[in-house]
Amino acid sequence: MPVEEFVAGWISGALGLVLGHPFDTVKVRLQTQTTYRGIVDCMVKIYRHESLLGFFKGMSFPIASIAVVNSVLFGVYSNTLLLLTATSHQERRAQPPSYMHIFLAGCTGGFLQAYCLAPFDLIKVRLQNQTEPVAQPGSPPPQYQGPVHCAASIFREEGYRGLFRGAWALMLRDTPTMGIYFITYEGLCHQYTPEGQNPSSATVLVAGGFAGIASWVAATPLDVIKSRMQMDGLRRRVYQGVLDCMVSSVRQEGLGVFFRGVTINSARAFPVNAVTFLSYEYLLRWWG
Ligand SMILES: CN(C)C(=N)NCCC[C@H](N)C(=O)O
């Protein structure tokens, strides 16, 4: 099993993650809290109350977890394609796989990465939703003092299964949308690259950026549900499950609820995934 894809997936994911985390914090707040009037209002409030550091809340854990999550996504994707088409990453430029194979490999990568991502994503969302200013002397400490404390508290209060709160919604979100992600990327690269050649850096950047946007637009409805399920704690249990969360969110806020955060998700997705694919392609070419 080729392992370079796993390592390249990890490094490229980490680069994308740092770039996109401030957008991600704004998105999570908009999806789960009703105190903000929009993206700008949310950014101004975070900056005023929590300083620049507020945008980077909950980032240390995803940085550590991206090693697992992105390497599983890219590693499983590439190795599934190898199984389906018997071609390595390098050979795929000369013998491009069918879109059906790309979609299936993307879905497989998305499904398995969702399982690894679930506890890390839960902790990130819980930390991002703490609105207390960072380190104010004299004020009561926030509920969670950091990622390890957050994980330990969830485990203590809700058990092992508590760490997987929202995992179903996450799997439903990621399985098809990762298929869309890789199809868009490969399709655009194929369209704008002469037969048998590697795509140029500009093509990779644009294809990666649009792959990010396409997959996030498709993922946003379940992303909203996932974030709400993750904030639904043991003491204040509001939703019975994914379907109940969907129905009661639509009843209370209308269909528009499914598109909460779609603008910020797309704005974040372009640079994050442009950088992710560019570094992934270059690392593999460099090692190949
Ligand atoms: C849930 N969806 C749509 C995705 N995860 N799409 C792929 C993008 C992955 C990238 N690390 C990012 O966070 O944008």
CA of 156 from ligand 1 middle (Å) equals 30
Lowest-confidence segment of 54-68, 99-113, 213-227 by average pLDDT: 54-68
**Best of 181, 227, 266 to mutate for ligand 1, by most ligand atoms within 8 A of CB?**
181
- pLDDT, tens digit, 9 for 90 and up, residues 160-206: 889 999 999 999 999 999 999 999 999 999 999 998 888 999 999 99
Q: Is the pLDDT of residue 62 over 80?
A: no
**Where do the domains of the chain lie?**
1-287
Distance separating alpha carbons of residues 121 and 113, to the nearest angstrom: 11
Higher pLDDT, 59 or 115: 115
Q: pLDDT for 275-287, tens place per residue?
A: 999 999 988 888 7
Q: Is the pLDDT of residue 46 over 70?
A: yes
Which pLDDT belongs to residue 270? 94
Least confident of 223-232, 241-250, 279-288: 279-288
Q: What is the CA(227)–ligand 1 centre distance, in A?
A: 15
Look at residue 128 in the predicted model and tell me its pLDDT: 79
- Fold (topology level) of 1-287: Mitochondrial carrier fold (1.50.40)
Which pLDDT score, from 0 to 100, does residue 138 have? 67
Kindly list the protein residues whose Cβ atom lies closer than 6 A to any atom of ligand 1: 13, 16, 173-174, 177, 181, 212, 215-216, 219, 269, 272-273
The dihedral over CA atoms of 34, 39, 42, 44, expressed in degrees to the nearest 10, equals -160
Question: Residues for the chain: how many in total?
Answer: 288
What is the value of ipTM here, to two decimals?
A: 0.94
CB atoms within 10 A of CB 149: 15
**Whose alpha carbon is nearest atom 10 of ligand 1?**
273
SS (H, E, C) 144-205: CCCHHHHHHHHHHHHHHHHCCCCHHHHHHHHHHHHHHHHHHHHHHHHHCCCCCCCCCHHHHH
Which pLDDT score, from 0 to 100, does residue 235 have? 62
- Read off the pTM: 0.84
Q: What is the pLDDT of residues 83-134, one digit of tens each?
A: 999 988 878 878 889 999 999 999 999 999 999 999 999 998 888 788 766 5
| Residue 103 to residues 7, 87, 100, 126, Cα–Cα distance (Å) | 22, 16, 5, 32
Please tell me the residue having the least CA distance from ligand 1 atom 14: 269
